[in-house]
C-alpha cells in the first residue's frame, strides 16, 4: 500500500495526476491535428533514429525523422498539405522505421496502433490508419452495476455454427438475443485485443490498443457493446496484461531493437511455459502504456470492466509454476511476490473504479492471494471478484475418478463454500479452459459418444444420457447457488455443447470444425439439448427474481453421505439436492429457518428440463416447529433420485 501510494503521488507530481497519465493514447501513436497536420510520438529508448513511413510518402524510410526528446521519447510534427487535404488518409498503411544503436534497420508497428489487419496471405499484420469519416456514436448509456453477476463468457470468432471466423455483426444480431433470453446480465468478451495467432485464444497479444480485425471493424465492436447496453447487459473485456506475444514484426518485442523496451531484459523477461514476454511493471513508460490501455477500452469502446487474465503469473516471480498453494500465509507474503506487478494491479483497479465506480474487475488467480479482493484503502488489491478456480476441477475429478455412489457430499460442499468471508467469488462449473481440446466439457465427460447417437427425443432415454442430463443440471444449479457471489458459463456449455473447442492449427490441418458453437442444436425441438438450455434459462431468471448471488453465504443444514443429500438455505430459498443414482425418499425431513407454506419454484425433474416428472408442483409443503439439523423448523418432502429442488416460502412477502 505504501508503494502504491508513493507511485500515485509521484504520478501526481510528475504527470499532473493519474487521470492525465492514463491518457497516453491521446499523444502517443499518430494523431490528426486541428490544422490538418499530423502529430506523432513514440517511446523507443534504445533507438538511434526513428522515422515515419508508409503509403503517404511512397515508403521513403528517411523523409520524416522524429526529433529526440528526454527519457527515450521521440516526436514528429508533419504540417498539412498546401491544399489542406488529409496527409495520411483513413485506411492507408504505416510503419515506424527505426535504426538501432547496433546498426539494425527495423520496420515496426506503433505499440499505440488503433487498428491492424492482415491482408491476403500475409503472415504479418499491417498497421492501418483508422480515422473514419463517420465514427460510431454510442446511443445507450452504460447499465448500472448488477447486484448479482451472471456472466456469459464469449468468443466472437467461434460464435457461429459454420466452420469460419464469425463477425462482430453476427454476434450482435444472433448471440446477444440468446444471452438476454438465457438471463445472463453480463458478457465477458475474450480474444478482442489483437493477437496474431488465432489458436492462442487471444492470450498472445500483439497490438494492445487494436480491436481484433479478424471479426470486423472497430465501429462494429462498438455497435456490439452499445447493443448489449441497450439490453441492460454489462460488457467486460478479457484483458491480458500478464504477458505479451514475443512477435517483433507485428508485436511489442524488440520494438527499439533492445530486449528491454517494454519487458524485463534477459531471462526475467521471458515466461518459459507460455513462450511469451513479461512486462517490466516498475518502468514509468510501461505503467503509462498499460494504464492508458485500460483507460482506452473503457473510454473508446465503453467496456464496463475487465477480467484480468493470468493474475497468478503476475503476482509471483515464480509465476505459479510448480507451486501447489496450500494456503499457508508464507506462500503469499515473502520475497517471491512481485511487488511491482501487485502495485500495478492496485493502480489499475484504482484507475478503473475512480473513472467508473460501477465498473467490475475480476482476478483470474489460482493461488488464493489474500486481500486481492479487498478495497485498496484497506491495503488490498482492489478487485471486485476472483474466479473460484477450484470448483471446475472438483467436478471433473468426481466424474473422472469416482462412481456416483462414492461422491463425497461433504467434500462437494467444502469446495463450493471454501472462500474467505466477504471475498466475492465468481463460481463456475466449467469455463473455456475445460472446453478446450485435450480436456472435455462436463456434458462430454458425462455422455461422451452417446451425444452423437442418443440425444433424440424420439428415442428412449439410455442410462448414460439420462444420468448425463440429470447431473449436468444439478452440477450447474449447486455451483450457481452455493459456489459464489457471481456465476459464469462459457458459451454453448449451457446446453451441453457436444464437442470440445479447437482452433485451426497445424495439428488439425487448419480445420475450423471445432472452432464453432452449434447453437442450432438447442433450437431443434427433436433434440434433448433444449432441455438443458431451458433449465439454464430458468435457473438464471429465478436468481434474477430472488437474488441468491447477492445474498449472504448459504447455511448448509445437511450433507448426508449415505443418502447423498445436500440441503441449504440462501436468500430465503430452500435448496435440496439428491445425488443418489437410484434412491428416492418419501417424507424426507429437511430443516428450515422459516415457518409457513412452501412451494416448488424450480425442479430439475420437470418435463421441460428432460426430467421424469415425479413431483407434483401443486403440492403445498408446511414447515412445523420441529427442530432439525440446527434449524428451528422442518418439513417433509418427497425427493426423487438425481434431482435438484428449490422451495420458496410463499407466506413471505416477495
- DSSP, collapsed to helix, strand or coil, labels residue 232 as coil
Which three-class secondary structure state does DSSP give residue 209? strand
Q: Of 88, 113, 8, 106, nearest to 50 (Cα)?
A: 106
DSSP 333: S
Among the listed residues 627, 605, 626, 625, the one whose alpha carbon sits nearest the alpha carbon of residue 615 = 605
Q: Name, in order, each residue with C-beta under 8 angstroms of 461's C-beta and a sequence gap of 6 or more.
A: none
Among candidate residues 226, 309, 558, 605, the one labeled active-site is: 309
Is residue 602 within 8 A of residue 645, CB to CB? The reply is yes
Residue for cell digits 482506452? Answer: 296
Chain centroid to Cα 369, Å, comes to 19
Q: C-alpha grid cell for residue 243?
A: 504477458
Q: What are phi and psi of 223, to 5 degrees?
A: -65, -35
Label residue 93 exposed, middle or buried (CB < 10 Å: 0-12, 13-18, 19+).
Answer: middle
**3 state SS of 128:** strand
Contact status, residue 125 vs residue 197, Cβ threshold 8 Å: no
Which residue in 148, 150, 170 sits closest to 158, CA to CA?
170
How far apart are the C-alpha atoms of 319 and 310, rounded to whole Å?
A: 9
Of the residues 364, 466, 485, 605, only one is catalytic, namely 364
149-155 and 486-490: which strand pairing?
parallel
Distance CA 393, CA 565 (A): 21
Q: Respond yes or no: is residue 226 known to be catalytic.
A: no
Q: Go through 595-610 and write b for each residue having 16 or more CB atoms within 10 A of its CB, e for each that does not.
A: eebbebbbbbbbeebb
Distances 325 to 177, 319, 332 between C-alpha atoms, Å: 41, 12, 9
Distances (CA, A) of 308 to 3, 48, 154, 222, 347: 21, 35, 15, 21, 13
Burial category of 9 from C-beta neighbours within 10 Å (exposed 0-12, middle 13-18, buried 19 and up)? exposed
Q: What is the rounded distance in angstroms from the CA atom of residue 388 to the CA atom of residue 418?
A: 9
What's 361-406 look like in SS3? EEECCCCCCCCCCCCHHHCCCCCCEEECCHHHHHHHHHHHHCCHHH
Distance of CA 626 to the CA centre of its chain: 46
Enumerate the β-bridge partners of residue 142.
none
What gap in Å lies between CA 623 and CA 638, rounded to an integer? 14
Report the alpha-carbon distance of residue 109 to residue 243 in Å, rounded: 18
Note if 364 is an active site residue.
Answer: yes
Q: Is 108 within 8 Å of 98 (Cβ atoms)?
A: yes
Residues that are catalytic = 309, 364
Amino acid at each position: 500500500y505504501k508503494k502504491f501510494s508513493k507511485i500515485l503521488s509521484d504520478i501526481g507530481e510528475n504527470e499532473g495526476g493519474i487521470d492525465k497519465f492514463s491518457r497516453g493514447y491521446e499523444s502517443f501513436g499518430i494523431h490528426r491535428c486541428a490544422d490538418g497536420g499530423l502529430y506523432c510520438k513514440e517511446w523507443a529508448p534504445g533507438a538511434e533514429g526513428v522515422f515515419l513511413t508508409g503509403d503517404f510518402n511512397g515508403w521513403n524510410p528517411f523523409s520524416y525523422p522524429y526529433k529526440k526528446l528526454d527519457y527515450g521519447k521521440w516526436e514528429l510534427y508533419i504540417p498539412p498539405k498546401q491544399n489542406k487535404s488529409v496527409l495520411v488518409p483513413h485506411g492507408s498503411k504505416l510503419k515506424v522505421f527505426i535504426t538501432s544503436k547496433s546498426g539494425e534497420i527495423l520496420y515496426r508497428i506503433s505499440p499505440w496502433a488503433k487498428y491492424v489487419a492482415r491482408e491476403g496471405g500475409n503472415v504479418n499484420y499491417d498497421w492501418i490508419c483508422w480515422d473514419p469519416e463517420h465514427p460510431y456514436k454510442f446511443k445507450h448509456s452504460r447499465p448500472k452495476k448488477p447486484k448479482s453477476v451472471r456472466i456469459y463468457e464469449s468468443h466472437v470468432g467461434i460464435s457461429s455454427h459454420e466452420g469460419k471466423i464469425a463477425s462482430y455483426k453476427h454476434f450482435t444480431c444472433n448471440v446477444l438475443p440468446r444471452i438476454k433470453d438465457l438471463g445472463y446480465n453480463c458478457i465477458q468478451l475474450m480474444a478482442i485485443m489483437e493477437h496474431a495467432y488465432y489458436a492462442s485464444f487471444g492470450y498472445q497479444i500483439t497490438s494492445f490498443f487494436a480491436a481484433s480485425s479478424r471479426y470486423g471493424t472497430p465501429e462494429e465492436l462498438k455497435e456490439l457493446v452499445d447493443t448489449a447496453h441497450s439490453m441492460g447487459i454489462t460488457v467486460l473485456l478479457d484483458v491480458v496484461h500478464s504477458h505479451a506475444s514475443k512477435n517483433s514484426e507485428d508485436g511489442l518485442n524488440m520494438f527499439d531493437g533492445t530486449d528491454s523496451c517494454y519487458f524485463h531484459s534477459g531471462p526475467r523477461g521471458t515466461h518459459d511455459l507460455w513462450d511469451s514476454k513479461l512486462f517490466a511493471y516498475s518502468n514509468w513508460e510501461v505503467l503509462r502504456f498499460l494504464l492508458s490501455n485500460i483507460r482506452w477500452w473503457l473510454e473508446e469502446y465503453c467496456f464496463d470492466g475487465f477480467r484480468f487474465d493470468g493474475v497468478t503469473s503476475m503476482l509471483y516471480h515464480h509465476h505459479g509454476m510448480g507451486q501447489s498453494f496450500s494456503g499457508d500465509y508464507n506462500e503469499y507474503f515473502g520475497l517471491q511476490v512481485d511487488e511491482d506487478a501487485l502495485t500495478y494491479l492496485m493502480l489499475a483497479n484504482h484507475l478503473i473504479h475512480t473513472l467508473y465506480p460501477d465498473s467490475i474487475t475480476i482476478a483470474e488467480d489460482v493461488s488464493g492471494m489474500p486481500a486481492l479482493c479487498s478495497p485498496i484503502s484497506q491495503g488490498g488489491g482492489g478487485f471486485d471478484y476472483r474466479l473460484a478456480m477450484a470448483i471446475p476441477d472438483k467436478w471433473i475429478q468426481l466424474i473422472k475418478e469416482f462412481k456416483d455412489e462414492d461422491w463425497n457430499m461433504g467434500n462437494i460442499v467444502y469446495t463450493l463454500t471454501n472462500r474467505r468471508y466477504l471475498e466475492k467469488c465468481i463460481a463456475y462449473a466449467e469455463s473455456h479452459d475445460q472446453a478446450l481440446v485435450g480436456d472435455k466439457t462436463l456434458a462430454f465427460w458425462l455422455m461422451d459418444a452417446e451425444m452423437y447417437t442418443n440425444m433424440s427425443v424420439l428415442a428412449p432415454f439410455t442410462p448414460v444420457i439420462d444420468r448425463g442430463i440429470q447431473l449436468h443440471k444439478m452440477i450447474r444449479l449447486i455451483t450457481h447457488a452455493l459456489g459464489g457471489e457471481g456465476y459464469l458459463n462459457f458459451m454453448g456449455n449451457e446446453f451441453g455443447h457436444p464437442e470440445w473447442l479447437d482452433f485451426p492449427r497445424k495439428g488439425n490441418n487448419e480445420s475450423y470444425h471445432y472452432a464453432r458453437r452449434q447453437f442450432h442444436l438447442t433450437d431443434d425441438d427433436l433434440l434433448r439439448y433444449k432441455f438443458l438450455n431451458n433449465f439454464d434459462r430458468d435457473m438464471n431468471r429465478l436468481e434474477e427474481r430472488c437474488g441468491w448471488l447477492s445474498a449472504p453465504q448459504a447455511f448448509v443444514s445437511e450433507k448426508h453421505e449415505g443418502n447423498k443429500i445436500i440441503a441449504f438455505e440462501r436468500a430465503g430459498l430452500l435448496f435440496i439436492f439428491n445425488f443418489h443414482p437410484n434412491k428416492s425418499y418419501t417424507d424426507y425431513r429437511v430443516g428450515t429457518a422459516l415457518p409457513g407454506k412452501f412451494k416448488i419454484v424450480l425442479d430439475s425433474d420437470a418435463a421441460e428440463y428432460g426430467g421424469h416428472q415425479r413431483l407434483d408442483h401443486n403440492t403445498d409443503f408446511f414447515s412445523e416447529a420441529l427442530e432439525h439439523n440446527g434449524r428451528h423448523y422442518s418439513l417433509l418432502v418427497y425427493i426423487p433420485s438425481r434431482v435438484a429442488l428449490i422451495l420458496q416460502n410463499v407466506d413471505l412477502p416477495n
